[in-house]
Amino acid sequence: MVMFARLLALLLPLLLAFPAAAEARTPYVAASIKPLQSLAAAVMQGVGTPDVIVHGAGSPHTYAMRPSEVRELTRAEIVFWIGPAYESFLAKAIAGLPARAIAMLDVPGITVLPARSGGVWDTAERGTQVHLASLADADPHVFLDPRNAEAIVRAMAATLSTADPAHQAAYRKNAETTIARLQALDGELAAQLAPVEKTPYVVFHDGYQYLERRYGLNAVGSVVVSPERPPGARRLAEIRDKIKDLHAACVFAEPQFDSALVRTAAEGTSARIGVLDYLGTDLKPGPDAYFDMMRGLGRALVSCLTGS
């Protein structure tokens, strides 16, 4: 009896702590793409690690989940994604989940731009704010503006704090630290890209409007109108004429898509060929990936546009 009493005295603190530990369990979080996973990882640093859904060189525009990834997604309690206008492959899967799905196009403080029509943009279109009738008409690449990334971080911290109030203080502190890093990154990119503001260039697809608007860049068109549909001969001839007429310095490929189309578009022109990776294809997921990806975009633009 004395031995049992001593054993109970030793175990009692652990038994009492168990319900609190269970209550403080970190929710299982998934993010659709690496930039969102990185921002979520920064907010969750020291508490938990979110998973990323689109792996490797996959593109959200054309991604198809494997059965193993669908099964993994069913575990998620919180899913951070851009929205059905971007990750259409996720829309049906998320609709059938009990998970709380947070679409970044809907969060407070986000600046949303309308998707541009066509693949060649004139000066008026590039400089004008067009009325956005609905989010179905939105350009979904909102995360490429660090100011939007700040709004995303705030929304993530609020969502996580509600789901996991035991770690609310950690989420809020991490969010403040991450926002300070984003503000420093914004200033860094502004200084880095200022010398190439007026230099015209062409991108593979129209995925960089937020970056262009934030830093006053001079993208004049895209090789493809939609990543899901390859361009025809007429379309390639049109963009090649644009490159020649405007003396575009560069045509940028992307790791997610066949670079042969970019080489064809640039053929017979003086444009250099560069690579823009707005998903951080080769970067390790985690709290630094977003910052490394954005700095990589800055370096790639300056390198190609200046010919250095």
Q: What is the CATH number of the domain that holds 282?
A: 3.40.50.1980
The answer to whether position 17 is within a domain reads no
Answer yes or no: is pLDDT of 118 > 60.
yes
Answer yes or no: is pLDDT of 29 > 80.
yes
User: What's the confidence (pLDDT) of residue 138?
Assistant: 87
User: What's the confidence (pLDDT) of residue 4?
Assistant: 38
Amino acid identity, position 170: A
274 shares a domain with 219: yes
Neighbours of 13 (CB within 10 A): 9
SS (H, E, C) 35-56: HHHHHHHHHCCCCCCCEECCCC
User: What's the confidence (pLDDT) of residue 174?
Assistant: 98
User: What's the confidence (pLDDT) of residue 64?
Assistant: 83
The answer to whether position 128 is within a domain reads yes
Confidence of residue 278 (pLDDT cuts 50, 70, 90): very high
Mean pLDDT score of the chain: 85
pLDDT in tens, 279-303: 999 999 999 999 999 999 999 999 9
CB-based burial label for 113 (10 Å; 0-12, 13-18, 19+):
buried
159 shares a domain with 112: yes
Confidence of residue 137 (pLDDT cuts 50, 70, 90): confident
* pLDDT, greater one: 67 or 169: 169
169 shares a domain with 32: yes
Which range has the top average pLDDT, 26-30, 62-66, 148-152? 148-152
Report the predicted TM-score, pTM, of the whole model to 2 decimal places.
Answer: 0.86
User: What's the confidence (pLDDT) of residue 1?
Assistant: 47
d(CA 173, CA 63): 34
Element (H, E) at 245: helix 233-245
User: What's the confidence (pLDDT) of residue 122?
Assistant: 53
* pLDDT, greater one: 235 or 79: 79
Give residues with Cβ within 8 angstroms of 210, minimum separation 6.
Answer: 111, 113, 139, 141, 142, 143, 144, 145, 148
* pLDDT, greater one: 165 or 22: 165
Reduce the DSSP state of residue 275 to 3 states and report it. Answer: strand
Confidence of residue 119 (pLDDT cuts 50, 70, 90): low
The answer to whether position 224 is within a domain reads yes
Element (H, E) at 107: none
User: What's the confidence (pLDDT) of residue 131?
Assistant: 47
Chain-centroid distance, C-alpha 6? 56
d(CA 96, CA 18): 32
pLDDT in tens, 229-273: 777 788 888 888 888 988 999 999 998 887 888 898 888 999 999
User: What's the confidence (pLDDT) of residue 60?
Assistant: 82
User: What's the confidence (pLDDT) of residue 163?
Assistant: 95
pLDDT in tens, 145-191: 999 999 999 999 999 999 999 999 999 999 999 999 999 999 999 99
Give residues with Cβ within 8 angstroms of 94, minimum separation 6.
Answer: 79, 81, 101
User: What's the confidence (pLDDT) of residue 120?
Assistant: 66
Give the rounded percent of residues in the chain with a pLDDT score beyond 90: 56
Mean pLDDT value across residues 121-131: 47
Give the rounded percent of residues in the chain with a pLDDT score beyond 70: 85
129 shares a domain with 168: yes
Mean pLDDT value across residues 86-111: 88
Residue 275, token pair as written in the block = 């690579």
Element (H, E) at 70: helix 67-73
Chain-centroid distance, C-alpha 136? 18
Of 128, 155, 184, the domain-final residue: 184
User: What's the confidence (pLDDT) of residue 195?
Assistant: 97
Q: 216's torsion region: left (phi>0), alpha (psi -120 to 50) or beta?
A: left
The answer to whether position 15 is within a domain reads no
209 shares a domain with 302: yes
Answer yes or no: is pLDDT of 23 > 60.
no
Answer yes or no: is pLDDT of 2 > 60.
no
294 shares a domain with 214: yes
Give residues with Cβ within 8 angstroms of 264, minimum separation 6.
Answer: 236
- Pair 257, 59: CB distance under 8 Å: yes
Give residues with Cβ within 8 angstroms of 208, minimum separation 6.
Answer: 141, 144, 217, 219, 276, 278
The answer to whether position 111 is within a domain reads yes
Give residues with Cβ within 8 angstroms of 304, minimum separation 6.
Answer: 201, 249, 250, 252, 272, 273, 274
Number of domains in the chain: 2
The answer to whether position 290 is within a domain reads yes
Domain extent, residue 141, equals: 24-184
The answer to whether position 35 is within a domain reads yes
Of 156, 184, 212, the domain-final residue: 184
161 shares a domain with 237: no
